[in-house]
Structure 1
Amino acid sequence: MEVSTMLQQAAELMAIGMATVFVFLTLLVVIIQLMSFSVRRFFPTKKSTATTVEVVASDTISPRLVAAITAAIHQHRQQQH
C-alpha cells in the first residue's frame, strides 16, 4: 500500500469518527433539553413559602445572631469528629 492511500484512509476514518461523536453529542443535548422541557411542563415547581430574613441596617451584630452562629459552628465541628 502506498503512504498516500493509508493517509487518505486514516483521514476518512478520522472524519467518520468525528462526525459520529458530533452527531451523538448533538442528539444528547437535544434529548436532555426535551427532557428538561417535559419535566418543567408536567411537574411545575411550587412556590416557596419560606420567610425572608430581615437585614438590619446597623454596624453592630446582634448578640443572638452571634450565639446562633457559634452554636451552629460548634455543632458542625462536633459532627465532624
Structure 2
Amino acid sequence: GAALLAALEREALAMGYRALWLETRRVNERALRFYRRHGYSEIPRYGAYVDRPDAVCLGKPLRAPVATASSPLHQESPWN
C-alpha cells in the first residue's frame, strides 16, 4: 500500500497537482491510520460527502522531494 500511494503522489505531482484529497468511512480505522501515517490530515467534507457524517475526508499537500548529495533524485520506472 505505501509504495502504491507514494507512486500515485509522485505521478500526481508530475502532472501538476498540488494536493490530493480522498474519502474513507469513519469506521475504517485501518485506512485512517494508514493515510495519517503517510501525511494526510482531516479536511472539511466536500462534494457528495458534505452531508455524510460517516465520511472522513483527508488531504495532503504535495511537495517535490529535495535532492541531497547522498540521495540524488532520479526517476526510475518499476517496469524497466
Fold shared by both chains (TM-score > 0.5): no
Normalised by the size of structure 2, how large is the TM-score?
A: 0.19
Higher relative contact order (CA 8 A, sep 6+): 2
